Amino acid sequence: MSDAALSAAETLPASRYPIDALLADIGGVPVSLEPTDIKRKSRDYYWYSPILNARLKDKFADIIVTPRDEADVIRVAGACYRHRIPLTLRGGATGNYGQCVPLEGGVVLDMAAMNQIEWQKPGIVRVQAGAKLFDIDAQTRPNGWELRMHPSTKRMSQIGGFVAGGSGGVGSVTYGGMREPGNILAARIVTMEEAPRVIELRGDAAQKISRAYGTTGIITVLEMPLAPALPWIDVIVAFDDFAEAIRFGQAIAMADGITKKLLAPIQWPLPENFSAIRPYCPDGKAVVLGMIGAMSIESFETLLEPFAGTVTYKTPSEDALNKTPLYEHTWNHCTLQMFKVDRGITYLQVLYPHDRVVEAATEIGAKFPGEVMQHLEFIRINGLMTASGIPVIRYSTPERLYEIMAAYEACGIMIANPHVLTLEDGSRYKRVDADQLGYKHEVDPLGLLNPGKMRSFVPRSPGPLQ
């Protein structure tokens, strides 16, 4: 929906919640009741999915609340609990599953103002949940460190939203996904109770908020492990044959002596939409986009020799807000680049079997020529190197989409369905092994946090309004 369309619709239905009572309780905490604000801040990139778009486009908050600090969060949480008002966390809103869309209205808690770094130690940063990934890297790099992984939306995303919804990204080829032990050190949360508690979840316990969409506590602070900030080289390699591109990507992926942050084989015609790097993506060719450690770039090219590929681009990575980075052509940005020229598409999220990556990709590709366009991102999962993928799909009907999903699964490729709203339906291999449902009962007994997203949760009887 364009901003113009938003402004045209300036009124919203009256709220079913006692918003005035809430306002009286949280006086001083910045809020917005402007319909334009409310509409803009009630959505994310769910429109990549025509199915989610239909279900979410008329879901709006009643009020946007922007806490300045943890004390504000506690006041808002307590007030929401007393007045039985749902509260949905909003980070950078770069997700694609409606993670931050308030299905039941109520408060959208916009974390953008809580964006401070609390401290840095060698290899660790402690940061408020609303800090942008880009800004975190900018502040840790002078000390020699950077985030271990980030989504392709790094220029906009916030760390809280990434941890609450993301599963991995650029960097996961080395560190695995967010769910791997050691990739979240601690989370500080505020509970949704009469008297909200502040809880520090350390170690394994921090997984209780990982990929839980903010249903298991209001994340205020995160302690994240860092990676050494290395000199990265952006590289593009072109191949006549997509399978050859995958084979080469896998050879680099499996070479532990080659330091890397990104390895993405991408099938033609997807590169046709890569306006920022189009000159380096020859017509009709598959490409591998990579971020390779400068100390490994010669070895990377040596390993390319037996493959039928040509380096078309090789230049030091640059993280600048005003420049499209190479990684914004991988992961779900690959879909976005195509949306810019073609709205008739959607996408899936898949995980290739680690011991049959090339075979499975070839097999599924042969079944849907022209309809399924593949790109793979190599990642480690459970200690094994494999590849996830976010295939771009020419969209016709939901039925056809589900048919394609079934075909993927028949090829041994796992699906994490991005066309559903709930954690349980969407996550599968991305789910962590923590008792998030049990924990929700402890910290959000009435189910007021992002209601509708944790399908298995049944709140205890709310009791009378106070």
Q: Where on the chain is the footprint of a second copy (CB under 8 A)?
A: 121-124, 144, 148, 174-176, 180-183, 185, 202-204, 225-226, 228, 230-231, 253-259, 293-296, 298-303, 305, 380, 382-385
Tokens encoding 307: 């493959």
Residue 19 makes CB contacts below 8 A (sequence gap 6+) with: 33, 62, 63, 85
- 269 prior amide bond cis, ω within 30: yes
Reported in sequence order, the residue ranges of 360-461 that DSSP labels E, i.e. its strands, are 372-373, 376-381, 384-389, 392-394, 414-415
Q: How far is the CB of 252 from a second copy (least distance, A)?
A: 9
Q: How far is the CB of 229 from a second copy (least distance, A)?
A: 9
Chain centre to alpha carbon of residue 66: 22
**H helices within 141-264, ranges in order?**
159-165, 172-175, 242-254
| Nearer to a second copy (CB atom), residue 228 or residue 459 | 228
Tokens encoding 460: 């205890």
Q: How far is the CB of 344 from a second copy (least distance, A)?
A: 38
Residue 419 to residue 205: CA distance in whole angstroms: 29
Instruction: Count CB atoms within 10 A of the CB of residue 151.
Output: 26
Residue 354 to residue 158: CA distance in whole angstroms: 30
Q: How far is the CB of 250 from a second copy (least distance, A)?
A: 9
| Nearer to a second copy (CB atom), residue 232 or residue 327 | 232
Q: How far is the CB of 155 from a second copy (least distance, A)?
A: 24
Tokens encoding 218: 């209001």
| Nearer to a second copy (CB atom), residue 400 or residue 431 | 431
| Nearer to a second copy (CB atom), residue 165 or residue 293 | 293
Cα angle 5-94-81, degrees, rounded to a multiple of 5: 90
Q: How far is the CB of 165 from a second copy (least distance, A)?
A: 18
| Nearer to a second copy (CB atom), residue 43 or residue 380 | 380
| Nearer to a second copy (CB atom), residue 384 or residue 410 | 384
Residues in the chain: 466
Coil, helix or strand for 414?
strand
Residue 6 to residue 121: CA distance in whole angstroms: 44
| Nearer to a second copy (CB atom), residue 164 or residue 392 | 164
Q: Decide: 168 and 149 in contact? Cβ < 8 Å.
A: yes
Q: How far is the CB of 268 from a second copy (least distance, A)?
A: 27
Torsion angle, CA of 21/25/28/30, rounded to 10 degrees? -60
Residue 456 to residue 452: CA distance in whole angstroms: 9
Q: What are the residues facing 371 on neighbouring strands?
A: none
| Nearer to a second copy (CB atom), residue 336 or residue 432 | 432
Q: How far is the CB of 108 from a second copy (least distance, A)?
A: 31
Q: What is the largest CA-CA distance in the chain?
A: 72
| Nearer to a second copy (CB atom), residue 315 or residue 382 | 382
Q: How far is the CB of 310 from a second copy (least distance, A)?
A: 17
Q: How far is the CB of 293 from a second copy (least distance, A)?
A: 6
| Nearer to a second copy (CB atom), residue 253 or residue 291 | 253
- Rounded to the nearest 5°, which phi and psi values hold at 264? -135, 105
